[in-house]
Amino acid sequence: MENIGTMSNDFNEVRRELEWQYQQRSDTDQTREAHILGKVDRLERNMVELYEAVNERGAAIERLQAKINVLEQGQRLRAAQRFGQSSEQLQYVASEALVAEPTVEEASKLPQQRGKKVKGKRAETLSLLKDAEAAHYGLTDEEMICDECGKMMAVIGKDRLLPKVVYVSDHYRKQPRYRLNISCPHCGKTPETTRIYHGHVPEDIMIGSIASPSLLAHIHYEKYVMCVPIDRQVRDMERGGLFIERDRVYYWTNTIAERHLESMTTRWHEDLQAQPMAMIDDSYIQVNKEPGRKPSTKSTITMMRTGKYALNQIILFFYYMTASRQNTMEVLGKFQGYLQSDGAAKFHNLPGIINAGCWQHVRHEFVDALKALSNAQRRTLPIAHGLRIIQKLFKLESDYAQNGLSAAERYVERLKLSKPLAAEFFEWCQTILGDKKLLVSNPKLEAAVNYAQNQRGIWKTYFSTGVLSCRTICRRACLSSSVWDVTTGRLRIRCSAQKPTSSCTQWS
Helix (H) or strand (E) holding 10: helix 2-23
- What is the rounded radius of gyration, in angstroms, for the C-alpha atoms of the chain? 40
Average pLDDT over residues 98-127: 57
Helix (H) or strand (E) holding 320: strand 315-320
CA atoms of 242 and 125, how far apart (whole Å):
7
**C-alpha closest to that of 146 among 185, 181, 201:** 185
Buried b (16+ CB within 10 A) or exposed e, 268-294: bbeebbebebbbbbbbbbbbeebeebe
Give yes or no for residue 131 having a pLDDT over 50. Answer: yes
The lowest-confidence range among 54-63, 102-111, 112-121, 309-318 is: 102-111
**Residue 394 predicted with pLDDT over 70:** yes
What is the Cα–Cα distance from 340 to 345, expressed in whole angstroms?
13
Question: Does residue 257 surpass a pLDDT of 70?
Answer: yes
pLDDT band at 11 (very low <50, low <70, confident <90, very high): low
Q: Which of 366, 493, 383, 480 is nearest to 89 (CA)?
A: 480
Q: What is the pLDDT of residue 332?
A: 92
Question: CA-to-CA distance for 130 and 241, rounded, in angstroms?
Answer: 9
Give dist(CA 83, CA 419) in Å, integer: 36
Q: What are 136's strand-pairing partners?
A: 178
Flag whether pLDDT at 495 surpasses 70.
no
Among 1-10, 66-75, 213-222, 237-246, which is the least confidently predicted range? 1-10
Q: Answer yes or no: are the C-beta atoms of 488 and 252 closer than 8 Å.
A: no
| The length of the chain, given as a count of residues | 508
Concatenated DSSP letters of 35-75: HHHHHHHHHHHHHHHHHHHHHHHHHHHHHHHHHHHHHHHHH
Band (pLDDT 50/70/90 cuts) for residue 274 is: very high
Q: How confident is the model at residue 263 (pLDDT cuts 50, 70, 90)?
A: confident
User: Which pLDDT does position 96 carry in this prediction?
Assistant: 31
Question: What's the whole-number mean pLDDT along residues 476-488?
Answer: 43
pLDDT mean over 228-243: 89
pLDDT at 5 > cutoff 60: no
pLDDT band for position 335 (cuts 50, 70, 90): very high
Compare 400 and 90 and report the one with higher pLDDT: 400
Torsion from C-alpha of 359, 360, 363, 365, nearest 10 degrees: -100
d(CA 252, CA 204): 13
| pLDDT band with cut points at 50, 70 and 90 for residue 19 | low
- What residue segments make up the domains of the chain, in order of their start? 121-214, 277-493
Q: Tell me the one-letter amino acid at 142.
A: E
Give the tens place of pLDDT for each residue, 409-438.
988 998 999 889 888 998 888 888 888 878
Task: Determine the pLDDT at residue 471.
Answer: 74
- Asked if 500 and 478 touch (Cβ cutoff 8 Å), the reply is yes
The rounded distance, in Å, linking the Cα atoms of 227 and 117 is 30
Is pLDDT above 80 for 66? no
Where does the pLDDT of residue 334 fall: very low under 50, low under 70, confident under 90, or very high at 90 and above?
very high
Residue 504 has pLDDT above 70, yes or no: no
CA 232 – CA 246 distance, rounded (Å): 10
| pLDDT given at position 89 | 44
**Mean pLDDT to the nearest integer, 129-150:** 81
Handedness of CA 205, 206, 211, 217 (dihedral sign): negative
CB 343 within 8 A of CB 456: no
Confidence (pLDDT) at 320: 87
How far is the C-alpha of 7 from the C-alpha of 240, rounded, in Å?
129
Q: Is the pLDDT of residue 449 over 90?
A: no
Residues 175 and 131: beta-carbon distance below 8 Å:
yes
Q: pLDDT tens across 358-374, in order? A: 888 888 888 888 888 77
- Residue 495 · residue 480 · CB < 8 Å: yes
pLDDT, mean of residues 263-284: 89
Residue 508: the pLDDT is 28
Rounded to the nearest 10 degrees, how much is the dihedral formed by the CA atoms of 444, 450, 456, 462?
-10
Q: What is the DSSP letter of 207?
A: T
CB 481 within 8 A of CB 89: no
pLDDT at 487: 41
Q: CA nearest 468: which of 459, 476, 477?
A: 459
Vertex 433: Cα angle to 356 and 369 (nearest 5): 70
pLDDT at 102 over 60: no
pLDDT of residue 273: 92
